[in-house]
Amino acid sequence: MTILSRRTLLAGAASAAALPSFALWSAQFARANTPQAGKQAASFYRYKVGDIEVTVLSDGIARVPVTEAFVLNVKPEEVNAALREAYMEPGVFIGPYNPIVLNTGNRLVLIDMGTGEANYIATKGVAGQLLTNMAAAGIDPKAVDTIIISHYHGDHINGLLRADNSLAFPNAEILVPALEHKYWTDAGEESRSPTQRIADNFKNVRRVMTNPEVMKRLRTYEWDKDVIPGVHAVGTPGHTPGHTSHVVTSGSHTVYVQADVTHAPFLFARHPGWHAFYDHEPIQAEATRRKVYDMLSAEKMLVQGFHYPFPSVAHVEKTATGYREIPVLWSPVL
Ligand SMILES: [Zn+2]
């Protein structure tokens, strides 16, 4: 076996250049000066859970500055050290968004929907990519018959509406967690908003979820029951009061769709005790996170994470200090 090092690579390049016939030999090959693509490829990925076909669709990313307010119980220096450990740029947190579509054979189901077309325009395509990646994946938004929502944060609901406020998925029934809907549409709860961020979220929920066309199609679902056959709702509160995960099962195969039990795993699965600013009830969110991740690692269960790096499918393992995610290998066939 040849061990490659910078030195052997440089020596190889030098000896190739020294060969008198090199120019003649290389002239036989195309030197077409192909223009660079200059843009990313469409971002969708498919896998099977038993008979169910899952398509992961990137909605792009957000860039969040790492300030004192980013993780409530940890200093920015510690967050930046963890970013460096994950080979990421310190000072800025990159949060991916990854909604999924399930084709169960008789239903086309979208679970959560990213930040919406208006955000695609505002961010010049950095986020809000769901509809463009759906088009690239050959999925017609009009063919989506069921939408399942995990919780009422903007990055999970805003994609219900297009930039002109019309429905992005006009033929879909919209299934929402009963507790989550009750909390965010309660005027009394709104009047007690503990932070400006939560007050703003109430306003956004009113804009999106109580849109008359959304209301016409909306039905609530309960925890510990099947939302539709093959998709079971599990209460995972803390991130929001009614935050819900979904266990997707077909035959002996399962994937745990964890929504925001952890945000991006390279920070928040590895440091489950960190309280990110988006967790509504940080202590409850941490307890939920540890309970779910203990289960996922003990059961060796496949996990789909909305804010995991694309295509956001992994297994998780318990470590001395938290958990670590092991992404699945890209499969070239289904
Ligand atoms: Zn989220």
Q: How far is the CA of 279 from the centre of ligand 1 (A)?
A: 10
27 part of a folded domain: no
Q: How far is the CA of 333 from the centre of ligand 1 (A)?
A: 29
| pLDDT attached to residue 11 | 54
Residue-wise pLDDT for 2-34, tens only, equals: 456 555 555 555 555 555 566 666 667 777 788
Q: How far is the CA of 264 from the centre of ligand 1 (A)?
A: 9
| pLDDT attached to residue 32 | 74
Phi, psi (degrees; rounded to nearest 5) at 190: -60, -40
Q: How far is the CA of 315 from the centre of ligand 1 (A)?
A: 20
Q: How far is the CA of 8 from the centre of ligand 1 (A)?
A: 47
33 part of a folded domain: no
Number of domains present in the structure of the chain: 1
Q: How far is the CA of 13 from the centre of ligand 1 (A)?
A: 48
Q: How far is the CA of 307 from the centre of ligand 1 (A)?
A: 7
The 3-class SS string of the chain reads: CCCCCHHHHHHHHHHHHHCCCHHHHHCCCCCCCCCCCCCCCCCEEEEEECCEEEEEECCEEEEEECCCCCECCCCHHHHHHHHHHCCCCCCEEEEECCCEEEECCCCEEEECCCCCHHHHHHCCCCECCHHHHHHHCCCCHHHCCEEECCCCCHHHHHHHECCCCCECCCCCEEEEEHHHHHHHCCHHHHHCCCCHHHHHHHHHHHHHHCCHHHHHHEEEECCCCEEECCEEEEECCCCCCCCEEEEEEECCEEEEECCCCCCCHHHHCCCCCCCECCCCCHHHHHHHHHHHHHHHHHHCCEEECCCCCCCCEEEEEECCCCEEEEECCCCCCC
Residue-wise pLDDT for 251-277, tens only, equals: 999 999 999 999 999 999 999 999 999
95 part of a folded domain: yes
Token pair of 180, please? 């989550």
Q: How far is the CA of 105 from the centre of ligand 1 (A)?
A: 28
197 part of a folded domain: yes
- The span from the first CA to the last CA of the chain, in angstroms, equals 34
Token pair of 17, please? 């250049």
Q: How far is the CA of 202 from the centre of ligand 1 (A)?
A: 15
| pLDDT attached to residue 10 | 53
- State the CATH number of the domain containing residue 103: 3.60.15.10
Domain holding 226, by residue range, is 43-327
List the chain residues with pLDDT less than 70: 1-27
Using CA atoms, how far apart are residues 307 and 171, in angstroms rounded to an integer?
27
Q: How far is the CA of 201 from the centre of ligand 1 (A)?
A: 12
| pLDDT attached to residue 31 | 74
| pLDDT attached to residue 1 | 46
66 part of a folded domain: yes
17 part of a folded domain: no
| pLDDT attached to residue 225 | 98
Q: How far is the CA of 138 from the centre of ligand 1 (A)?
A: 25
115 part of a folded domain: yes
140 part of a folded domain: yes
Q: How far is the CA of 263 from the centre of ligand 1 (A)?
A: 7
